Homo-oligomer: A and B are copies of this chain.
Amino acid sequence: MSNHLNKCIRDGDNPDLTAERLTATFDTHAMAGELHGGPVNARRRLEITEAVEKIPELHDSKPYPFMSREEKVSEAARKLVVLTKHMNNIVDFSNAAEVFHFGNEVLGLEGHPMALHNVMFIPSLRGHGDDEQQKKWLTRALRREIIGTYAQTELGHGTNLRSLETTATFDESTDEFVLHTPQITALKWWPGNLGKSSNYAVVVASLIIKGKNYGPHSFLVQLRDENTHVPLKGITIGDIGPKMAYNMTDNGFLGFDHVRIPRRHMLMRHSKVERDGTFIKPQNSKINYSAMVHVRAHMISHQALFLASCLTIAVRYSSVRRQGFIDPKGQEVKVLEYQTQQHRLFPHIARAYAFNFAGTETVRLYEKVLSQIATGDMSLMADLHALTSGLKSVVTYLAGQGMEQARMSCGGHGYSLASYFNEIYGVAIGGCTYEGENMVMLLQLARYLVKSVGLVKSGYSHKLGPLVSYLGEKSEPNSLIDRFDVYVKTFRHIARRQTFKAAEKFLSLVESGTQKELAWNMSSVELNRASRLHTRLYIVEAFVRRVNEVIHFDVKNALTDLLYLHMNYELLDMSQYALEDGFLSTSQLDYIRDQLYYYLEKVRPNAVSFVDSWEISDRELRSVLGRRDGHVYENLFKWAKESNLNKHDVLSTYEQYLKPMMVEARKNSKL
């Protein structure tokens, strides 16, 4: 590791990039500790990267953008096998962060044939199978004797479980369930690894006994022969085709034509069906948010990493790309010198940090809530569930915006797949849709906010959850905008005002006789605005709390600059809400604007170091533009030469189409 504060410096690097790194005011590896859960974890990330470097069979066979869909799927299967072989020597399997990083280095972002096996199939067996079922199937799944997935979503049905159409009808005469797909919209659609890899699945279907529908339940279904992998009788199965990203994953479709499974293939830890068809309800039917909260909390950190990856590419490239002049007599300048370039990149650097900190805090909060639940205290779960719904939506959306800005800031070369922007964006932007569509998520949070407004209005402010307690506070205008807390007070005012305004719109519609559900729909855009402002307030507060916690002096100073940049950018972006009621004056807004430009300049010398601190390796980044060493042009040329169309100097299309056309024309001209 380099002796400089910026630990990415090496001999032989592009001097334009080294010059940027030499102006670092903080130790980038110390900063990495703040981003990656402490110094030990940050060191482990580097060690894993180094270990992978030494094992050629863990490396990409060729650049992913040159691979067809089939090659991608095959590469992922190959990697899965070799990765399993080396896993225990390189990572601590019980450490999720290590496994995650190892996966990013070796497999990349687009998935693999057993992704759902680990993340959904095994947890489903664990959560819903009774002891006997677990002994039989979970053991086999853990040993990888079988590959499984989880099939819930249908072609015509997404988030709304109540409307799933696949049926599992109990046949008492044979002691079996009959699984059936009554019509095309009932086809299972989207489950990862369903199409080609899995031979088993946990299938969600409506349980029907003696003509009565007991709602969705989980069933273990064998899909393919264990030896030949040929689909079993009555099963229609396949891949749903190419997608924006995740093209190493075989998302699949699945249809049943009266497929029979033994009664004991219904997962019976909670609900049960007895031999005579008696249905036994689960003892505790409370909704368990915890799995969703867990997934969404981790999504925030992953989105931060996606955004940071794109910014790493863009900020490094902007330091080696020279284009145009500021001083017409000087040499061409680095594009990072342009204020417009700084303005389209630096606020997103701040957001990537903010999202990382908010994500980490949310995961911590989740663990705290879990331990409270263990003692019977459920009070915080609703608060946290509402927050993570909002975070998931706001962060995926804003991260996507930042990633596209990063790509566009790289001009034409950003448009080439050599930059790898497109793949990162494709994977990340999927987060706006999966795990709860963003608009639906914002409305879930809004429901909680409206409830909270109700508490305040009826004098029960003391009953507000900790994450919404500011709704019960009064706003006091500030004469100055300078310190963290004054900014936070302003963000609180903005979120509170819009929350009350949107809630009041809804409530007054109801009062004036509009049906409640209709009134809700008529207020939903304003409610969603409130949800976004509430969430962005939380992100700012999490950022502030985190900066206050940092001990290392230089790191804290640099983060403080980034935080001020963030607060001014965010406040300007949502200033309409503070201007509307005169909470902010014109001169305050002018000050915020000036501060924004001041902090763009202040952040400038650390810009490369801020992205370097994420310590995303070249292997993980897979971007020619974003290389650590800054040697972009020679490697773009090398990359292009290796691409598929350059395997032959002359394409077969020449002989087939272009040559006959030209030869014919020449003949005619000689007539």
Q: Which residues of A contact B (CB under 8 A)?
A: 65-66, 68-70, 73-74, 77-78, 80-81, 84, 113, 139-140, 143-147, 153, 155-160, 163, 184-185, 187, 189-190, 195-197, 226-231, 238-244, 250, 253, 321-328, 332, 337-341, 343-344, 400, 404, 408, 411-412, 414-418, 422, 426, 429-430, 432-434, 437-440, 443, 515, 517-518, 520-526, 528, 575-576, 579-581, 586, 589, 593, 597, 633-634, 636-637, 639-641, 643-646, 649-654, 656-662, 665-666, 668-669
B323 and A657 within 8 A (CB):
no
- Inter-chain CA distance A640–B422, complex, in Å, is 23
Contacts of A668 in B (CB 8 A): 143
Contacts of A339 on B, CB cut-off 8 Å? 521-525
List, in ascending order, chain B residues with CB within 8 A of A661's CB. 81, 84, 144
Q: Which of A408, A593, A597 has the largest number of chain B CB atoms within 10 A?
A: A408
B650, A229: Cβ atoms closer than 8 Å: yes
By beta carbon, the residue of chain B nearest A573 is B576
Q: Can you name 25 A-B residue pairings with CB atoms under 8 Å?
A: A65-B241, A66-B241, A69-B644, A81-B661, A113-B653, A143-B669, A145-B662, A155-B637, A159-B323, A196-B651, A227-B659, A229-B659, A238-B640, A238-B645, A239-B643, A242-B643, A327-B515, A327-B517, A339-B521, A408-B438, A412-B433, A414-B433, A415-B433, A579-B580, A580-B589
A415-B244, A575-B576, A640-B241 known; A653+B586 contact, CB < 8 A: no
Are B241 and A439 neighbours in the complex by a CB distance under 8 Å?
A: no
Q: State the majority secondary structure of interface residues on A.
A: helix
Q: Are B580 and A242 in contact (CB under 8 A)?
A: no
Shortest CB distance A548–B (Å): 30
Which residues does chain B contribute within 8 Å of A589, judged by CB atoms? 580
Whole-angstrom distance between the Cβ of A194 and the nearest chain B Cβ: 12
A652, closest chain B residue (CB): B74
Whole-angstrom distance between the alpha carbons of A617 and B308 in the complex? 41
Counting chain B CB atoms within 10 Å of each CB, the highest count among A84, A341, A418, A525 belongs to: A525
A226 engages B522 (CB within 8 Å)? no
A231–B226 Cα distance when bound, in Å, is: 54
A229-B650, A253-B640 are known; give 5 further A-B pairs, CB within 8 A. Answer: A65-B242, A147-B662, A241-B640, A422-B426, A526-B593
CB distance from A222 to the nearest CB of B (A): 13
Check B408–A525 contact: CB distance below 8 A: no
Inter-chain CA distance A229–B658, complex, in Å, is 10
Q: Judging by beta carbons under 8 Å apart, are A244 and B645 in contact?
A: no
Q: In the assembled complex, how far is the CB of residue A654 from the closest CB belonging to chain B, in whole angstroms?
A: 5
Q: Are B73 and A645 in contact (CB under 8 A)?
A: yes
Q: Are A340 and B242 in contact (CB under 8 A)?
A: no
Query: In the complex, how many angstroms separate the beta carbon of A35 from the nearest chain B beta carbon?
Result: 28
CB neighbours (8 Å) of A430 from chain B are: 415
A666 to B145, CA, bound (A): 5
* A157 to B652 alpha-carbon distance, docked (Å): 32
A656 to chain B, nearest CB (A): 7
Closest to A79 in B: B657
Interface contact A337-B521, CB-CB below 8 Å: yes
Most B CB contacts (10 A, CB to CB) among A156, A521, A644, A658 go to A658
Contact status A340-B416, CB under 8 Å? no
With beta carbons under 8 angstroms apart, the residue of B185, B189, B646, B662 that contacts A144 is B662
Given contacts A324-B160, A579-B576, contact A241 B521 (CB under 8 A): no
Closest to A438 in B: B408
Given contacts A327-B515, A524-B338, A645-B238, contact A184 B666 (CB under 8 A): no
Interface pair A70/B644, CB less than 8 Å apart = yes
Contact B327 A412 (CB under 8 A): no
Point out the residues of chain B lying under 8 angstroms from A341, CB to CB. 439
Q: Shortest distance in angstroms between A494's beta carbon and chain B's nearest beta carbon?
A: 12
Please, which residue of chain B has its CB at the minimum distance from the CB of A342?
B525
